[in-house]
Amino acid sequence: MNSPLRFERYFYSRIVCIANPEFDPNAEERSSIVQISNETRIMRHAENERRWQVILDLKTPPAEENVGPYQLDIQVVGFFEVPPDSTQDPEKLVGITGSSMLHSAVRELVLGLSSRGPWPAVFLPAISYQSQPDEVSPKTS
């Protein structure tokens, strides 16, 4: 079944991937799971209620707290359109499906970047976007 959301395009407005020089892949206490936080903002277009923008920020803890192989700080911006015949709540549809699509794009980016670094490649953990986004507001431009 196809998604009831049209994915128009996306771009990265910030990409930071820094190898942690203190990371020890052989240490027993090291975590095999990358700790990551996310923030999602959704904005509806001011003139077209079917068009939406999602901004997704994904970050690892600050360098002084980071025990993982890489410090990450990535922001991706995506543009979506809800079809006119959709019966789903557009805010919820964009918040869940749009954010999940962008997360998948970031996941692939991080896998590619980290596979070229000094430590093993990182595959980001799955994140549920079932809850509402942090902020929903009209798009200003």
pLDDT at residue number 30? 56
- Has residue 5 been placed in a domain? no
Please check whether residue 8 lies inside any domain of the structure. Answer: no
pLDDT value at residue 132: 46
Query: Hey, what are 98's tokens?
Result: 């749009």
Burial level of 127, CB count in 10 A (0-12/13-18/19+)? middle
Cβ–Cβ < 8 Å for 121, 115: yes
Q: Which two tokens stand for residue 121?
A: 């490649």
Give the model's pLDDT for residue 3.
73
Q: Which amino acid is at 75?
A: Q
Cα dihedral 11, 59, 105, 75 in deg (nearest 10): -10
pLDDT tens column, 4-51: 899 999 999 999 999 998 888 887 665 555 788 889 999 999 999 999
Nearest by Cα to 40 from 69, 8, 6, 78: 78
Q: What amino acid occupies position 64? A: E
Which residues lie across from 7 on neighbouring strands? 80
Query: The domain containing residue 125 runs over which residues?
Result: 18-129
Q: What is the CATH number of the domain that holds 43?
A: 3.10.420.10
Is 137 a domain residue? no
- Residue 73's Cβ-count burial label (10 Å; 0-12, 13-18, 19+) is middle
Q: How many domains does the chain have?
A: 1
Q: Are 99 and 110 in contact (CB under 8 A)?
A: no
